[in-house]
């Protein structure tokens, strides 16, 4: 029997991505990567459910649901709306895990509410729930630098170095999920964000330049003013540049 869930605890964890072999290793599937790994670690089996059009699993320890919508990114809200409606889960008890263009690979941050920043999965979820007030766990994937290149960028595999950084962020995200499931959202954010602050490269300290040492028994340096040229009068100053 699952333990009783405290009010305010996360009861539905949603990983966003696109289904199929063609997309499974692309940046846009970072949300899938986290939920899949968390399901394995927690012993929750993800099974395809035609009614929700998603892979669905439930944790035995507390009854929380894990969901990976299978209707492609722009239809992610269907599974969330159906499952949240049937089990009466409010938006404040839903955590959506997704890729974030505004963060570098390796960064993970969490917040409640806010905009959708052009993310089609978030757009559909917000539209179907009628609110933005669900929680988000955002996994940085970096930005291509040109908004016209975003679609191709998110649907590409990250290079090995970036994937390793994203995997590190996923590991830190999984570490704070037990706090989310226990209702300690502030503690989860503090832990996640404090780790991010610690991992920032420290600013290089510039050592003050030592004052030059005076040579022993050296005579003091005396500043001398250059001698002023003798006045040549009006005609002398006009014709001074001419050769004689």
pLDDT digits (tens, 9 = 90+) for 131-152: 999 999 999 999 999 989 999 9
Q: So what's the pLDDT on residue 44?
A: 93
Angle at 156 between CA 155 and CA 157, to 5 degrees: 130
164-208 confidence digits (pLDDT tens): 999 999 999 999 999 999 999 999 999 999 876 655 544 444 444
Three-state DSSP at 167 gives: helix
The edge-to-edge listing of strands for the beta sheet with 47-49 is 47-49, 54-58, 65-69, 12-15, 94-100, 135-140, 108-112
Q: So what's the pLDDT on residue 3?
A: 54
- The per-residue DSSP string of 212-241 comes to PPPPTTPPPP---PPPPPPP-HHHHHHHTT
DSSP letter for 113, please: S
Q: So what's the pLDDT on residue 46?
A: 96
Please give the positions annotated as active site. 28
Q: So what's the pLDDT on residue 117?
A: 82
- Per-10-residue mean pLDDT, the chain, length 244: 66 97 96 97 94 94 93 94 96 97 96 91 96 97 94 96 97 96 95 73 46 47 45 38 42
Give the Cβ contact number of residue 46 at 10 Å. 18
Six-digit token string for 160 = 């090995």
Verdict on whether the full-model pTM lies above 0.95: no
- The per-residue DSSP string of 87-103 comes to TT--GGGEEEEEEETTS
Residue 74 near residue 126 (C-beta atoms within 8 A): no
C-alpha R_g of the chain:
31
Listed in sequence order, the residues at least 6 apart from 44 whose beta carbon sits closer than 8 Å to its beta carbon are: 38, 57, 58, 59, 60, 66
Say which CATH topology domain 12-198 has.
Answer: Rossmann fold (3.40.50)
- Helical packing angle, 160-181 and 30-42, nearest 10°: 50
């Amino acid at each position: 029997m699952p333990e009783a869930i405290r009010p305010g605890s996360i009861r539905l964890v949603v990983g966003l991505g696109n289904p199929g072999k063609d997309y499974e290793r692309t940046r846009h599937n970072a949300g899938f990567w986290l939920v899949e790994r968390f399901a394995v670690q927690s012993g929750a089996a993800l099974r395809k459910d035609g009614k929700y059009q998603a892979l669905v699993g439930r944790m035995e320890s507390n009854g929380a649901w894990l969901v990976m919508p299978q209707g492609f990114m722009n239809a992610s809200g269907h599974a969330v709306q159906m499952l949240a409606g049937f089990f009466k889960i409010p938006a404040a008890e839903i955590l959506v895990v997704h890729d974030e263009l505004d963060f570098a690979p390796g960064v993970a941050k969490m917040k409640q509410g806010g905009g959708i920043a052009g993310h089609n999965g978030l757009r559909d979820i917000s539209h179907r729930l009628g609110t933005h007030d669900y929680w988000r766990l955002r996994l940085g994937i970096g930005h291509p630098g040109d908004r016209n290149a975003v679609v191709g960028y998110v649907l590409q595999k990250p290079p090995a170095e970036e994937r390793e950084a994203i995997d590190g962020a996923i590991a830190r995200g999984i570490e704070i999920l037990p706090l989310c499931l226990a209702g300690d959202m502030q503690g989860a954010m503090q832990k996640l964000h404090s780790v991010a602050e610690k991992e920032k490269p420290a600013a290089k300290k510039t050592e003050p330049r030592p004052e030059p040492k005076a040579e022993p028994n050296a005579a003091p340096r005396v500043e001398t003013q250059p001698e002023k040229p003798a006045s040549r009068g009006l005609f002398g100053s006009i014709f001074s540049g001419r050769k004689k």
